[in-house]
Structure 1
Amino acid sequence: MAYELYYWDGIQGRGEFVRLALEEAGADYIDVAREPGRGTGAMLAIMKSESEPHIPFAPPFLKDGDLIIPHVANILFYLGPKLGLTPENERLRYVANGLQLTVTDFVAEVHDTHHPIDTSLYYEDQKQEAKARSAAFIRERIPKFLGYFERVLRQNPEGTNHLVGGALTYVDLSLFQVIEGLSYAFPKAIAKRRAEYPGLLALHGAVAKRPNIARYLASPRRLAFNEEGIFRHYPELDGAE
């Protein structure tokens, strides 16, 4: 039975972290919002259900049979062993989960660069606040998070090709997506700091060349970044430092 991924159509968003794992593993899955006749209505029906015993608060969520798993890190913690994308060492699986939760924190801060006041307001309604938030993000938060992941990669006892353990995990795929997204949203800021993160950039390049990932990136299933998703490019924010 195919996995069912529920997320908004038209954007990569948080759902992309799950898609990358499914695509790398060659898993059979359905991107429900893109299915004719189902769309986001099927997702909203589950979220608003008055009878479903374990309703998710928000997408993305994954349906495996009658089991519904919400939240990116939780979904990947569930999928990792099934897809061969988590360390065999059980203790390291919790390390991987901790790293993925840190990615979650980082992505939330990325989102808040363009919506620092209220998610229900348009970007144009909070542009000045977004400039201030982005300046702090570029100056302080990008180096804090990427510097941390660079150190984790460098200090991995099993080598510097992966963040945890000696083989590819879903965390490596997620860091690939983070670098992709930041390079789209803040190209000038990232260009200035590229020399500071050689390990992460090497990891990004290696993931992009993996056969299944390369095919996915070249396919119509990989939507382009746009100004409706989490990683948005507003030139006035890229020069905010």
Structure 2
Amino acid sequence: MHYQLYYWTGIQGRGEFVRLALEDVGASYEDVARVEGDGAIARFLDGSHEGALPFAPPFLKAGRRVIAQVANILQYLGPPLDLVPDSESQRLYAHQLQLTVSDLVAEVHDCHHPIASSLYYADQRTEAFRRAANWREHRLPRFLGYFEQVLERAGGRHALREHSYVDLSLFQLMVGLGYAFPRAMQRLEPGLPCLRALAARVAERPRIGAYLRSPRRLAFNEDGIFRHYPELDDSR
């Protein structure tokens, strides 16, 4: 199967969670908007195509199927890419964990855009400062503590006792949070040995390592989800 991934150009964003799965197994795929521009996405969002209607990118075209939402895409890709166990219970658990990753990603976004996505960060900076401070102290430790417990219960190395797309997503969370909130993560990481070790192992996977060194892996920046605004991080 040759896959077509649709996501905005210039940022990693939510599309990166799908890219990591495709890159990890060496799947044949095209990052369409990087070739054709963001207009390729608009053709789907305005409903001028056949098939399912996505609300927003990322979405994946696989043959005639159009699949949207990160957790939904990874649930679809998991079996053919061998990135999820065979048992139904483990596949449901993988989907549950990925949905929780999506919850965390949404809250990261809301740290720098707590009022409206249509407003610039500068237009909601005061609200963002208050939101981020509460989030760092309460929500971030709770999310990361949960995922640390998930790894511990599975033996410490993987979320599902074997490598899966959830491991790849946890890697992206750790490196993204490390970019956006380096001081907060420095404070929290001593209590997250399993997550830290998992992120290091994923980065050393042959295809992932090659991808991270390639121009296909865009750098984090202040247009994506994981943004580094020093005033939103722990104080020095």
1:20 aligns with 2:24: no
Q: Distance in 2 between matches of 1:133 and 1:17?
A: 25
RMSD: 1.1
1:177: Cα distance to partner?
A: 0.1
154, 157, 161: which one aligns with 2:157: 161
- CA-to-aligned-CA distance 1:61-107 (integer Å, 9 cap, x gap): 00001100000000000000011100122210000000000000000
Structure 1 stretches of 4+ moved >2 Å: 49-53
CA distance in 1 between counterparts of 2:49 and 2:80 reads 29
* CA distance, structure 1, for counterparts of residue 48 and residue 225 of structure 2: 30
Cα offsets for 1:129-183 (capped at 9, x unmatched): 0000000110001100000000111011xx221011x311000000000001000
Percent identical pairs in the alignment equals 59
1:179 paired with 2:174, answer: yes
Structure 2 CA distance, aligned partners of 1:68 and 1:191?
40
2:143 & 2:49 partners in 1: Cα distance? 41
- Once residues 11 and 73 of structure 2 are traced to their aligned partners in structure 1, the CA distance between those partners, rounded to angstroms, is 19
What does 1:119-158 correspond to in 2, within 5 Å?
A: 119-156=117-154
Identify which of 106, 109, 112 aligns with 2:110.
Answer: 112
CA offset at residue 49 of structure 1? 2.3
Secondary structure in 2 matching 1:160: coil
User: 1:131 touches 1:240 (CA, 8 Å); kept in 2?
Assistant: no
Q: What is the correspondence of 1:35-114 to structure 2 with a 5 Å cutoff?
A: 35=35, 38-50=36-48, 52-114=50-112
TM-score by length of 2: 0.98
**Residue type of the alignment partner of 2:18:** V
Q: Is the 8 A contact 2:51 2:64 kept in 1?
A: no
Residues 26/53 of structure 1: CA separation in 2 closer, same or farther (3 Å cut): closer
TM-score (norm 1): 0.96
Q: 2-side partners of 1:202 and 1:60: how far apart?
A: 28
CA separation in 2, counterparts of 1:232 and 1:240?
A: 16
Whether contact under 8 Å (1:132, 1:240) holds in the other structure is no
Instruction: Give unmatched runs, 5+ long, in structure 1.
Output: none
Q: Contact 1:7–1:59 at 8 Å: present in 2 too?
A: yes
Secondary structure of 1:26 counterpart: coil
Query: How is 1:185-196 mapped onto 2 (pairs within 5 angstroms)?
Result: 185-196=180-191
SS in 2 for 1:76: helix
How many residues align structurally? 236
User: Where do 5+ consecutive residues of structure 2 fail to align?
Assistant: none
